[in-house]
Amino acid sequence: MSVNSKPTINKQPQVSLRTKDIVAAYTLLRIVVGVNYFNHGFTRIFDIPSFINAMVNVMQDSGIPEFLVRINAALVPPVELIVGALITVGFLTRSALIACFVLMIILMYGITIIQNWDGASSQLIYNIVLFILLAGVNFNRFSIDDWLKNKN
């Protein structure tokens, strides 16, 4: 390098996250997840007995008493429907996400006890997305929660 030459500065693009983009991404992810859970519940809610029987068949060799499988299976569709609706519109979002996590813990226990590792992998993805939504709940600005908070 000669005495008169200036050092070249490596012009790397700067990576920055704008709050409005995070809010938009959070909102869209929340709605997608909410619709997913809502439709899981909605498609099962009108024929819960069939869903219960299917779960009993799947879990028959799990060692879990049948009555526990039946109780949990009966609760899955209404819980999915309710938390899905709440998450979609952003009402009681934090509580709905925690309820969803509890549901996923129960489902993860069941799916791993029967050693359905592909299903468990799929559920882990759901849990990662739930983690992102719960951890980022402060970005829940396009929601009924935020509207109610700002209304007061």
- Span 37-46, pLDDT tens digits: 999 999 999 9
In a domain, 12, yes or no: no
Residues 68-122: tens digit of each pLDDT: 999 999 999 999 999 999 999 999 999 999 999 999 999 999 999 999 999 999 9
Given a cut of 80, is residue 11 above it in pLDDT?
no
E-strand spans in the chain? none
In a domain, 1, yes or no: no
pLDDT of residue 5: 58
| Residue 95 CA, distance from chain mean position | 12
In a domain, 15, yes or no: no
Given a cut of 70, is residue 128 above it in pLDDT?
yes
pLDDT band at 14 (very low <50, low <70, confident <90, very high): confident
* Total number of domains in the chain: 1
In a domain, 4, yes or no: no
In a domain, 8, yes or no: no
First to last CA, the chain: 65
Given a cut of 70, is residue 7 above it in pLDDT?
no
Rounded Cα distance, 22 and 4, in Å: 45
pLDDT of residue 92: 98
In a domain, 3, yes or no: no
Given a cut of 70, is residue 8 above it in pLDDT?
no
pLDDT of residue 41: 97
In a domain, 33, yes or no: yes
What's the domain range around 41? 20-143
Q: Structure tokens of 15? A: 């990576």
| Mean pLDDT, residues 23-31 | 98
Given a cut of 90, is residue 10 above it in pLDDT?
no
In a domain, 9, yes or no: no
Residue with tokens 């390098």: 1
Q: Which residue has the higher pLDDT, 152 or 49?
A: 49
Residue pair 74/21 in contact (Cβ under 8 Å)? The answer is: no
